[in-house]
A and B are shown apart, each in its own frame.
Chain A
Amino acid sequence: MTKSPMRIDLALALVALLCATLSLGIGPAHLGSGRVLAALAGQGDPVATTIVWQLRLPRALLALLVGAMLGGAGAALQGYLRNPLADPGVLGTSSTAALGAVLALYYGFAALSPLTLPLFAIVGAFAGLAPLLVLAARSEGPLALILAGVAIATAAGAGISLALNFAPNPFAAVEIMTWLMGGLADRSFLHVWLALPCVAIGLGLILLQRRALDALTLGEEGATALGIDLKRTRTLLLVATAIGVGGSVAVSGAIGFVGLVVPHLVRRFTDGRPSSVLLPSMFGGAALLAAADTLVRMVPTLEEPRLGVVTALIGVPIFLHQLVKARRQW
């Protein structure tokens, strides 16, 4: 083995932690690093303690969780579908999660409690999962799943457009649009506790499929001949994606591109096996999102730029650069 996947794991985990730590020191209220550290240690002044613990820490943790989930799901789905274009949205469950959230906004349920919107989103993710599970139990290959995912995403997109179309007033439409662009501003530990189990289950199930993903390098029949139960793999990956990505979309909105780009960025530092891309993609996704969420707070504009926009702006140039450099893979 010429390349050590262990080291890229560690390096990216460190970068992610560094970005998240850095983000604790940045926000509209200017706190010196001394006050932030003191607040973290539990010995800060009340204002700094409130800002760090109630506003910045949950936000940093959410960036790590959501980024890790998106990166991990992207890597797993690219491995499972053997398709470099796959991303966490390919199965449509992130779109149905978004539709759930939009419905909560549209009907005003979102104002009832900070948890209503994320819960609607998770229900949406599961609603999108149901037809996929029926299909997965019957179909042989992944193509039917991709096509069903496209159909589900299209239907969910139509539902969202409908909500925008009939929005009771311009403010509701703007609220929906803003949420759809993704962001982590004004999140609390409630959101962390909601996202954490979803992401833990999602990433855990994905990591359990490591060998199945490697065996699928030889195709569906090759993997079966290697003793892999493909129906089980398919079902578990679907559930992992719906729960994990659904939970992520619920707290952050739709953040595009992380799941597509990160696996490609880290793949060349691994030995190329789908299993060895998983952990670096999780840490890489966490790092990218933590960095992007720090950046949105550093840009001196009145309104924070939306996180989904910034991940795309950071991700696309790096991605294109990679694409030009490593043409032979495509």
Chain B
Amino acid sequence: MNDLLTTEDLPRQVIEKLLVDAESFVEVLSRPIPKVPALRGKTVATMFFEPSTRTRLSFEKAAKALSADTMSFSPATSSLSKGESLKDTALTVHAMGVDLMVVRHGSTGAPWRVAEWLDVPVVNGGDGAHQHPTQALADCLTITQRFGSLEGLRIAIVGDVRHSRVARSNMYAFHSLGASVTLVGPPTLLPVEIDGWPANTSTDLDAILDEVDVVYLLRVQTERGGGSVFPSLPEYADRYGMTGARFGRLKPEAVVLHPGPMNRGVEIAHDVADDERSLVLLQVSNGVAARMAVLFELLGGDQVA
């Protein structure tokens, strides 16, 4: 593996290997000194051309816990505002001596372009409404810890599937690991063309509530126009939100995931968000371990593919 750009063509054995490594890094992060020297002397640049709190901090924490140095970039304070192109920005940062670049960009495919221009590994930190592979790995790790494996699980991904890169990357990863995935949302928030996607679709959340093991709630993305394609937020919450009543109808062992940031009261009720079966904070801490596994694999690990 030279880059991590998408989960779409990621072989199952690679995902499973990354999850096993990530489990070792969970242990590292629980130590009194949560740091190992594995990537000492390496430099990881986080190039986020789009706002982010958790993903960027998560990558920085992951790099630092592996003793790598980090450099970061944010568009507001950069030469982007002077009109520098993506390519020139990437080449400039690379010329300073970078061993791996994490790229987040509002446009689909931007990390692929950067990977073509540079001879260092590139990790997709989220591109447009397309892919967010490290989020998928963190979520697979979280579900694996809870259920032992994803084989045979039924997972519903609920909400704004159309604008969600998390939905796409998770759908492929869940499917690779043997889960069956149903995409649920109002017709206007389901993608128009899903031929070839390894998932079913449904517009009726209540109809499948009692069959699923995992409910993966997506954020209503008002910044990507998600707010204008259904009548109102209360109506969305009424039909697709994880309310206390719906939560009560789930199987007793079923869990709720959410990539954050949560709109409490919209896609997830307050009480549900704070319930023991809501794994939101575990997803965040597993995100660090999963990203450590990716950095270690690309910069020094035992290459399986």
Q: Do the two shown chains form a genuine complex with each other? A: no
Q: A residues bordering B, Cβ < 8 Å?
A: none
Q: B residues bordering A, Cβ < 8 Å?
A: none
